[in-house]
Structure 1
Amino acid sequence: MKHDSIIVKLDSIDAYNKLYGLETRHPLVTVLNLTEATRVVNHIQMDYGVYALYLKNGVSCTLKYGRQAYDYQEGTVVSFSPGHIIGVESETDELAPDVIGLMFHPDLIYGTPLAAKIKNYSFFDYSQREALHLSLDERRLFIECLDHIKNEIEHPVDNHTAEIVASHIQVLLDYLSRFYERQFITRRKVNSDVLTKFEKALKEYYADGHGKDGVPTVNYFAEIVNLTPGYFGDLVKKETGKTAQELISLRIIEFAKQQLATTNDDISIVAYDLGFQYPQHFSRMFKRITGISPKQFREKISVGYN
């Protein structure tokens, strides 16, 4: 049976707690345990104005990003940042799903070291099929971090609370970064398939005449392999040691060298064929990667042939 989802704005910790019938102990942060929920939540979309991390212990809850279901199995973590709209769509209504986690408002970390570092945790922008699968030991560490945060926010709030809580959150996020790095390694076969598709799409981009559509982007190739740009970029970096943008730029220069060496086309024409709106942008990229300008490269090739 199809259900129409309503959109709920989650711009505060209290808004989320009221949704599930939970108590609010601190206005800017909460350690979640949805087994204590007193209200059923299903067939809704949550418009997040807060950061959230969920560890799923049960298997029934289903989350969706757009029309795509998350890879949200037992023992997995998903994470959201302000601006995400996530749907809760389960086949059956469940009063108290076996889910624990953390939610904190951006104001909590304002003025703390975590505020300057929060954008480095790229997993907040991962989406469907990119959940973090934890081992039993990793789950234990996750729960220990939550316990430290919970213990702190259950004490009376003072001038040190926000900084101490933020430091505990940063430890948890650093652990998740480590666990994702481990997952990139243990999923090497899946990663290899993604890289193969990426390399194939890179080779085909100009061969199929896409140069007229502009210079290829990381977003373009991430969409081809059905990953978010953040997860795709991190995967490529872990596997190759180069960023996805660096690999794209190297491929562009390969095509440029071929065209410069085999045609008499003006350099501006070569640039346009490769998708550059402005030839000077192409020339700057070419010199940055090769150490010489397109004109110097063509002259060097010409001398070599003679």
Structure 2
Amino acid sequence: MNKILKVRNVGDYSRWVGHTDRHPLVSVIDYAEVSPIRHSLNNYSIYGIFFHDEAEIDLAYGCGKYDYKKGTVICVAPGQIGGKEDNGERVMLTGWALLFHPDLLHGAPLEKAIKNYSFFDYRVNEALHMTDEEHGILTSLMRQIRDELRKRHDELQDSIIVGYIELVLNFCQRFYNRQFITRKLDNSDMLMKFDRLLHDYFDGNMQLAHGLPTVQYCADKLCMSSNYFGDMIKKTTGDTASNYIRQYIIQRAKNELATGESIARVAYGLGFEYPQHLSRMFKKQTGMTPSDYYESLRKK
């Protein structure tokens, strides 16, 4: 049985690493002050943003091991499990952790907006690798939040801290956007794999048994979380992953219709339950119905 540390609140993790909190709902930990620490496999009921500077730790997640190197950010959300099981080993870490309970956001705009930060659902092997400048920005924000927590609590403190957290999240989003751009080459390689995956799916007649391919299916096959995959495709192509799949399907439908195949046969052959579902998608993607398209070919 795995030894799992249940992190129901910030104090559960703080006690594990030997840090004393000043606020029941938020904690900023400077790892240099609490090291060495033991590993822990954590079941989170809170949000966490972790970055370690130079830890040689390999964490097992998703489709493989992840090497935790200098300037890496990992974000976790309630309901997730992450870390490394305690094996008695003690490790020296430098870096920071920012932990906060969902209750801290109660009534703040961020309570609803936090779901828009899709990187909370990225896998660990899709972590953010910071530049030195980005690392400096996040370190500076961690220090500012810690300094605020050391002040006497007043009626504005929670709002100020939530403001800082939002700033941290926006910087993380900016850094991820930069990472998607700097990894354009990797992304175009992934786009080719995506195309090949769709090609193989239909050539192997998988649509007849499983219906149309989904974003989740493609992400799983490419060893990515659906959020990271979706964000990567959007940054690389300017289009959503689901729309990319639809365009691929419509292109195949056009090829079939051009051979004189009936709309019903094309629809069933592509994995649609009913021909009208193909017609609806076709009209939405191209502005014309399949029969209009067929007629336009005949006029050429």
TM-score by length of 2: 0.92
Tell me what 2:17 maps to: 20
- 5+ long unaligned stretches in structure 1: none
Matched, 1:234 2:201: no
1:255 aligns with 2:252: yes
Matched to 1:172, the amino acid is V
- Contact conserved, 1:62 with 1:90, CA < 8 A, in 2? no
**After superposition, where does 1:87-102 map in structure 2 within 5 Å?**
87-89=83-85, 93-102=89-98
Structure 2 equivalent of residue 304 of structure 1: 299
Equivalent AA in structure 2 for residue 136 of structure 1? D
Q: Following TM superposition, by how much is the alpha carbon of 1:287 offset from its aligned partner in structure 2, in angstroms?
A: 0.7
Residue equivalent to 1:46: 42
Question: Is the CA contact 2:66–2:124 (under 8 Å) kept in the aligned structure 1?
Answer: yes
Q: Quick check: 278-287 or 229-238, which moved more? A: 278-287
Paired with 1:83 and 1:268, the residues of 2 have a C-alpha distance of: 44
Contact 1:236 1:242 in 2 (8 A): yes
**CA separation of 1:40 and 1:142: change in aligned 2, threshold 3 A:** closer
SS in 1 for 2:126: coil
Residue 96 of structure 1: how far off its partner (Å): 4.3
- 1:1-306 maps to which residues of 2 (within 5 A)? 5-37=2-34, 40-42=37-39, 44-65=40-61, 68-89=64-85, 93-212=89-208, 213-265=210-262, 267-301=263-297, 303-304=298-299
The alignment partner of 1:69 has SS state of strand
Query: Once the 2 structures are TM-superposed, how far is the Cα of residue 40 of structure 1 from its aligned partner?
Result: 3.8
Spell out, residue by residue over 1:186-232, the C-alpha distance to the aligned partner (whole angstroms, 9 max, x if none). Answer: 22222121111112212222122121121111112212221111111
Q: Report if aligned partners of 1:65, 1:85 keep a CA contact under 8 Å in 2.
A: no
1:233-255, Cα deviation, whole Å (9 max, x unpaired)? 11111111111111111000011
Q: Runs of 5+ in structure 2 lacking a partner?
A: none
Q: What is the CA–CA distance in structure 2 between the aligned matches of 1:24 and 1:289, rounded to whole Å?
A: 54
Structure 1 stretches of 4+ moved >4 Å: 89-92
> RMSD of the TM alignment (CA)?
2.1
- The aligned length equals 299
Whether the aligned pair in 1 keeps the contact of 2:47 and 2:76 (CA below 8 Å) is yes
* 1:154 shift after superposition: 1.8
Q: Is the 8 A contact 1:36 1:96 kept in 2?
A: no
Aligned residue identity for 2:48: A
**CA distance in structure 1 between the partners assigned to 2:136 and 2:25 by the alignment:** 25
Once the two structures are TM-superposed, the CA of residue 91 in structure 1 deviates from its matched residue by: 7.9
CA distance in 2, matches of 1:36, 1:271: 63
Change (3 A) 1:95 1:200: closer
Please list the CA deviations of residues 75-121 of structure 1 after superposition, one character each: whole Å capped at 9, or x if unmatched.
Answer: 11111111111131588712542231211111111211212221111
How high is the TM-score relative to the length of structure 1? Answer: 0.90
Amino acid at match of 1:217: T
Q: Distance in 1 between matches of 2:273 and 2:150?
A: 57
TM-fit CA distance, 1:151: 1.7
CA shift digits 1:20-68 (9 cap, x unpaired) = 22112111111122233377422x4211111111111122333332573
Which range is displaced more, 201-210 or 85-94? 85-94
> How far apart are residue 14 of structure 1 and its match?
0.9
